[in-house]
Amino acid sequence: MDIQKQLLVFVNPASGKGHALKEWNKAKPILDKFNVKYQVIMTQYQNHCHEYLLKEDLSNIYGVVLVSGDGLPHEAINALYARPDWEQISQSITIGVLPGGSGNAFAKTLTKISQLECNSESCALLIAKGMTRQMDLILLEMQQKKVVSFLSLAYAFISEVDLGSESLRFLGGARFDIYGTWRALFQKKYQAKYNNQQMMFRYFLAQKIPYISDNYLSAPAAKIDDGYIDVQYLEVGDWSQLVKLSLKQYDGSHVEIDEQGNVKPKGNWKYEKVKEYTFEPITNCPLSIDGERYPPQPVKAKVLNKILKVFCY
């Protein structure tokens, strides 16, 4: 007799000022209304989700739902990608998210594409209806490991804001605004090699999806399935450039996009769509990959086109 397949739901109770469980409770009635079967796991420690998905039998699972910010999806996707049966998993398991953290860029992107509001009810509706879409990932090859990224690699200003504001998590998404304002007023210079060219940066961000958080449209030309990485950077120059352009990233107005989809950056801002790139930090600044801290090290990045299924219209 066939066993009915179900969702596997991971809830991070410590995420988003502790609101992840409340967000899950908002989503449950919608899944129940559609008679969706699910198993819930409350994560107990860092990498709990990763360890489970890496080792357990997932033959009766058709979807993995992450209730958290963007850290838990990073954990889950990398666990699935590292499994010996990844090729099969990538076809049989779909990823869903509920916005239960500080950033929620993944949830914002999937609901925006689906023309829905970014909330747990909308995400639950996407999951319950079972509509799926293939999206890209970025393979990041480093000295001692390979990582896949669904969101971004950041260095310099963005990395400092993302990782430096961790002590302000109790503020929710406002932590990025508060710490970002302080860091923009007291800017630093960061040396690195981008595609083997040594440069001095104020800002470096390579994205796969358009949002870096649920209210920050930092890469308006990015698409989840176009086979490109959207790389933006600002070299050292006029101090005010970073302040002015960062403020415009809330709505994506820091660049212009014509009817053909071509991007025209403003000022000294650089915006490139690439299929691969190399990056080597020189200044001692950590890398932020999908919002997670990694030590500064050389990275070789390339797009893996349409290899992840997500719940999305």
Q: Could you give the residue numbers annotated as active site?
A: 70
* Token representation of residue 252: 């994506």
Of the candidates 162, 99, 136, 139, the residue with the CA atom closest to the CA atom of residue 291: 162
How far is residue 308's CA from residue 313's CA, in Å, rounded to a whole number?
Answer: 14
**Strand 132-141 and strand 146-149: pairing?**
antiparallel
CB-CB contact of 11 with 43 (8 Å) = yes
Distances (CA, A) of 301 to 128, 220, 231, 263, 289: 34, 21, 11, 21, 12
* Token representation of residue 312: 């999305």
Element housing 211 (H / E): none
